[in-house]
Structures are given as structure tokens and as C-alpha cells.
Amino acid sequence: MPRLASRTQEFLTFQVVELFKQAQALQAAGRDIISLGIGEPDFTAPPQVVEALERAARAGLSGYTAPAGVSALREAIAHYYETEFGARVDPSRVIVTNGASGALALACAALVNPGAGVMMPDPSYPANSNFVLASGGRPQLVPSTAAKRYQLSAQDVRENWAAHTQGVLIASPSNPTGTSVAPAELADLLREVRERDGFALMDEIYLGLSYEQAPRSALTLDDDIIVINSFSKYFTMTGWRLGWLVVPQNMVSVVEKMAASLHICAPTLAQHAALACFLPDTLKIYQQRREAFRQRRDFLLQAFDGMGLSVPVKPDGAFYIYADLSNQSLDSATFSHRLLHETGVAAVPGLDFGPAHGHHTMRFAYTVGLDRLEEAATRIGAFLETLREPAL
């Protein structure tokens, strides 16, 4: 048997995958399962995008592209960042990638030295830690609180930056909490990182799904950060495996060189199809879908409040609600298991996202229609009532 690398023992297991498998098995057995688990929109690519894919396929546009992507798509992304998020970006700084995962892999490979620490909040998306580990780095999870919207702060950077720390990885809006970092706080945080000659990796894959105010990219605060984004969430193209990086000019040639070897290029047909995402009629569809997600959030927050399920911080983006079970009688793993098997509702235990709050939190993804959310809320409310009934 081959001897595995020691890093494989440190990789975090994504429990949502196991939950997904259990839910599928129950569904195959005839159970009606409502999935509030996987962070995948129920919407799919709009007709304009599918039609663009078909045209590209018929035209034979399926060969390799340049490692950094199709020029027209890089230009479209740069224009989108200026018009939607207020950030002027030279198209040459845009690197099209194999999803946000490909973007994170390239960024970590380019930035993280062996043994270097990368600071991120607890809770955070578990794959972020795995990308750091895969590059030989060490994830530095800093426990955050509801008072900090479960995000890193400038104070966290000052108090936790160590000799081996090399940078920070921030997601705003965040998975699993749906919370954003306030612009003033983010500016302070980025200033602290810059003063320590560190890098800032900014995950903006949910930036288009911001509900309370017009979203602004962190690039408007610091042009030297590295931004990660994706066509999976706002653009509802999860399986198309398409994302992008925005990097400082001095990183472009390095990242292109690495992409040429590690990825060759992002899926070519998906790149040509994605150009249709930025058509005026397509953008209107995405705006309508964002409003649908906001309505789902508002419904579920009100439903949780009515049944006594605590949500310490109102999510302002993404499509997740991070609920606190502290006033319930079950830990998150047991709660998730029983909720699925007894009611047919799948939701992710907080253990997936870090140890600080993992045993007493749950992540609910509102990625199903309102009719299914209403049924899910009814089942969850009934389940909570059974937990309150005295034992016989």
C-alpha cells in the first residue's frame, strides 16, 4: 500500500456530504425529503446561458483557451465589477478558473509558504482550511462571536497575528452565517494586514446575493487584495465549474503560469456560455432571483422566531441562516440526524464549520421554493415541540 502524505490526516471532512448521502438514500426509499443542507441554488442557468452554450458547441468552440480564460469573458467580468460592485478592474487582472475552488487552489499555491499561517474566522467554510493545508500552510481559526457577526475583525488580527502568520482569508457574505463585514471594519482589518506585510484573500462568491444595501467589493478599499468569485451561486451555474480570481498586476504572470500546468484552462464551453450572464435581459432574471432569495430568508427568519429557534445575527446575504441551539436539548449532530430521519428535513450541523460554536449551531440553506420552505418550517416546528414535551 502507498504511504499517504501526512496532510491527508489533517483534512477536514465535509459533513454535509454525508448528510446528502443519507438524504438521498431516504429519498430513494420513498421518503419526502426537503433539503436545506447543500448550498446549491434550486434555480439553474437561464435560457440565454443555455442557448449560448448550444451555439458555442455547434460552432466547435470547445478547444483549449488561454490559461487565464477567454478575453471577452475577462473583459465582461471586469465591467461587471465596475458597474455592480464599484471596483475598477483591468481585465488583465482577471483569471478565469475552474470554479471558486480552482481560484482558491491557485491563490493558495501562489501565496502560502510551507508552515505559514492563514487566519480565518471560526465559523467558516471547511474547504477553505483544506486549501490552505493542501498548499502546506496552517489554518489559524480565530473564534468569532455574534457581536462580531461571526467575522474576523481588526482586533482579531492585532491579537492573533503570529510570527508564522502570512495572511487572512475572509468571506463576505459568509458561508455558513450569511453575514457580511461592515465596510469600515473591513477597511480597518485590511489596514492591519497590510501593516504586517500580509496578504488578504477575499471570498466574494455571495457578493451578488446581498440584501440590505448595494454591495461593494473589497477592491474598493484595497486594490492589492486577491478576490475570489464564482458563477455558481449568484449566477446559479454550480455544475458548470466556472469562477475567477482578481489579482494584483504583479501576480498575473505567476498565476497564469501555474494555471497552465495545474488546470490548463477553465471549461471552454462554459466560458463562452457565461458571456450571456451579463446580457441585460439575463441580469434582470438574476435580480428577480435575488429578490426570491430575500423573500425566502425573511419567511424563514420569521418562522424560526415564531417557533423559538434562535438566530443570533440576521444574515444580510448568501442563502444561509445560522441558528443557535443553545436553548434546545440536543447537540447539533443529534439534532441534524433526528431532524432528517424523523421529519425528512436535511440541515447541516455547525460542526462542519469549526469547533467554537459547532456543537450548538445549525446551518439552514433556503435554496428551495417558498412552498417547500413552508412545509419545512411546519415540520421543524413540530419537531421542536416534541423536544419540549416532558418524558413519560
Do 188 and 267 lie in one domain? The reply is: yes
Residue 199 pairs in a beta bridge with 167
Do 288 and 273 lie in one domain? The reply is: no
Do 370 and 308 lie in one domain? The reply is: yes
CA dist 269 and 251 (Å) reads 26
Q: Tell me whether residue 212 is in a domain.
A: yes
CATH of the domain at 373: 3.90.1150.10
Q: Tell me whether residue 391 is in a domain.
A: no
CATH of the domain at 198: 3.40.640.10
Q: Tell me whether residue 389 is in a domain.
A: no
Q: Which residues contact 81 (CB under 8 A, 6 or more apart)?
A: 87, 88, 89, 217, 219, 246
Copy the grid coordinates of residue 254. Answer: 505567476
Q: Tell me whether residue 392 is in a domain.
A: no
SS3 79: helix
For the chain, give the number of residues. 392
**Do 384 and 57 form a contact (C-beta atoms < 8 A)?**
no
pLDDT, residue 392, reads 47
Question: Full-prediction pTM beyond 0.75?
Answer: yes
Do 158 and 216 lie in one domain? The reply is: yes
Query: If phi over 0 gives left and psi between -120 and 50 gives alpha, with beta otherwise, what is residue 106?
Result: alpha
For 317, counting Cβ atoms within 10 Å of its Cβ (0-12 exposed, 13-18 middle, 19+ buried), the class is: buried
Do 273 and 317 lie in one domain? The reply is: no
Do 208 and 242 lie in one domain? The reply is: yes
Per-residue pLDDT in tens (0 to 9) along the chain, 392 residues: 788 888 888 887 777 778 888 899 999 999 999 999 988 999 999 999 999 999 999 999 999 999 999 999 999 999 999 999 999 999 999 999 999 999 999 999 999 999 999 999 999 999 999 999 999 999 999 999 999 999 999 999 999 999 999 999 999 999 999 999 999 999 999 999 999 999 999 999 999 999 998 999 999 999 999 999 999 999 999 999 999 999 999 999 999 999 999 999 999 999 999 999 999 999 999 999 999 999 999 999 999 999 999 999 999 999 999 999 999 989 999 999 999 999 999 999 999 899 999 999 999 999 999 999 999 999 999 999 999 876 54
Give the Cβ contact number of residue 10 at 10 Å.
Answer: 13
Do 208 and 168 lie in one domain? The reply is: yes
Do 33 and 168 lie in one domain? The reply is: no
Do 165 and 203 lie in one domain? The reply is: yes
Q: Tell me whether residue 319 is in a domain.
A: yes
Q: Tell me whether residue 1 is in a domain.
A: no
Q: Which of 219, 244, 279 is the last residue of a domain?
A: 279
Q: Which of 252, 279, 306 is the last residue of a domain?
A: 279
Q: Which of 279, 295, 328 is the last residue of a domain?
A: 279
CA 24 to chain CA centroid, Å, is 23
Do 57 and 132 lie in one domain? The reply is: yes
Do 91 and 229 lie in one domain? The reply is: yes
Residue type, 322: Y
Q: Tell me whether residue 390 is in a domain.
A: no
The number of CA neighbours under 13 Å toward the Cβ of 252 is 15
Number of domains the chain is built from:
2
Do 293 and 240 lie in one domain? The reply is: no
Q: Tell me whether residue 64 is in a domain.
A: yes
Give the residue numbers spanning the domain of 24: 6-44+282-384
